[in-house]
Amino acid sequence: MNAPAPRSPWDRPGAKLRVATASLAGCFGCHMSLLDLDERFLDLVELVALDRTPLTDIKHLGPCDIGLIEGGAANAENVEVLREFRRNCRVLVAVGACAITGGIPAMRNNVPLAECLHEAFVRGQGLVDRGIPDDPELPLLLSQVHPIHEVVRVDHFLPGCPPSADAIWSLLTAVLEGRAVVLPWEQLHYD
């Protein structure tokens, strides 16, 4: 029987690392900030190959080296995606305020879920078809929005709303080179 193939190019110098990203209960702002890497993206794709991300439209990820998660866990699908990322990624990074603290979506945690839904879909202004949506394809909402480290183990945290492209670059280069992640003061923001 053959020895199992090494899972990661970190074991095979020269090969590209696989990176996957997902936006859970976020606004895609962190992904926009990733695009703000601009020409550095060209350097990045020399080093990494993209697996599941909103950019590739791959639906399920394979074994990856780095997973970047934007947004907190607000519904059952978020939890499923998050667990799939944890199973498949050697290093999982919480990117942005929502993934790290729950962020803006977690402001609903102050209001009982039934009241939230009632306000949005029953009592709200200008509604045509009043009633709480119950299509079976809609993922069920969690009673509260949670930061992702309350659901799975997280290896690195990159705060910001969104983190700047420079901060994302600092994190990615540190992780790729196996250095400790240290953000200079200029790049450390919660807003």
| 8, 75, 109, 173: residue in contact with another protein (rule CB under 8 A) | 109
Is residue 190 within 8 A of residue 160, CB to CB? The reply is yes
**Cβ 62 to another protein shortest distance, Å:** 28
Minimum distance from residue 29 beta carbon to another protein (Å):
9
129-188 residues near another protein, rule: CB under 8 A: 144, 146-147, 149-150, 154, 156-159, 161, 181-183, 185, 188
Residue 20 half-sphere exposure, CB side, CA atoms within 13 Å? 24
Q: What is the spatial distance between Cα 117 and Cα 124, in angstroms, rounded to a whole number?
A: 10
User: Shortest approach of another protein to residue 98 CB, angstroms?
Assistant: 8
Question: Which among 18, 28, 50 has a CA at the least distance from the CA of 103?
Answer: 28
Rule CB under 8 A: say whether 82 interacts with another protein.
no
The CA-atom distances, in angstroms, between 189 and each of 21, 72, 164 are: 21, 18, 9
Residues that bind another protein (CB under 8 A): 94, 97, 100-104, 106-107, 109-110, 144, 146-147, 149-150, 154, 156-159, 161, 181-183, 185, 188-191
